[in-house]
Structure 1
Amino acid sequence: MSERYSSFEPKGTRWLLQRLTAAFLVIVLAFHFMQLHFVNHAADVTFAGTSARMSQPGYFAAMVGFGLTATFHGVNGVYNGLVNQGLDGTGKRVVKYGLIVAGLLLSAQILRLAFVMAGGSIS
């Protein structure tokens, strides 16, 4: 019988964060769908409406949290999936730091977009 292998240490920090971010994403995704597909239908979503929603502190925080959490969850999941498939040594380090850089760049873009959509400007 084959052994079960996971790069997550059971009950470890990365294991816990992956599950917590998944739970948060399910809740915020449900809110997002409710707001943008049932309350405001897709055809009615405009730049002005998005800007108005993003200027509300609670909505702004939820959407920034959604983007940053999704970024972490995705990067962490891809990394651990590759490690589970046997990635090790130099390749593991290259992938690790490549994903960290990609995650940081995506996080910066999420923040830039959120501030612009809330009516701010970035020079």
Structure 2
Amino acid sequence: MAERYSSFKVGGRRWLWQRITAAFLVAVLAFHFFLLHFVNHADEVTFGMSQGRMQELTYFSLMILFLLTATFHGVNGVYNALVNQGLSGTQETAVKAVLGVASIVLIVQGVRTALAWAGGVPI
């Protein structure tokens, strides 16, 4: 029988959060496809319509939550894939730091863009 091989610790929270964020991302993507491909066809969507949606607190909050969830899910997945490939020691610490900084930059720029799109703050 194959041996269990994963960088996730048995009973660890990162494993659980990876699954929870995956489920959330699938649900939000389903909402996106329904909204932009069935309710409104993609060729009918304008910048003004998108800006109008971003000005609604519910939609804006969902997009910010999507940004945070996707960032965590992606960075956690990349980190664990690298650890599964044998990354350890100083290299692991460096990759963790780079991924952490990249996450912060992505989130800050994503929030700035969302605020500008909602008419709150210019980019």
**TM-score of the pair, normalised by structure 1:** 0.94
Equivalent-residue separation in structure 2 for 1:91 and 1:111 (angstroms): 30
Name the structure 2 match of 1:26.
26
1:62, distance to aligned residue in structure 2 (A): 0.9
Deviation string for 1:32-84 (max 9, x for gaps)?
11111221111112111111001111111111111110011000000000001
Gaps of 5+ in 1: none
Instruction: Give aligned-pair identity as a percent.
Output: 60
Name the structure 1 match of 2:80.
80
Contact 1:68 1:110 in 2 (8 A): no
Deviation string for 1:65-122 (max 9, x for gaps)?
1111001100000000000110011111111110000011001111011111111114
Gaps of 5+ in 2: none
1:26 maps to a residue whose letter is V
Equivalent-residue separation in structure 2 for 1:83 and 1:107 (angstroms): 24
- 2:117 is aligned with 1:110: no
- 2:47 is aligned with 1:50: no
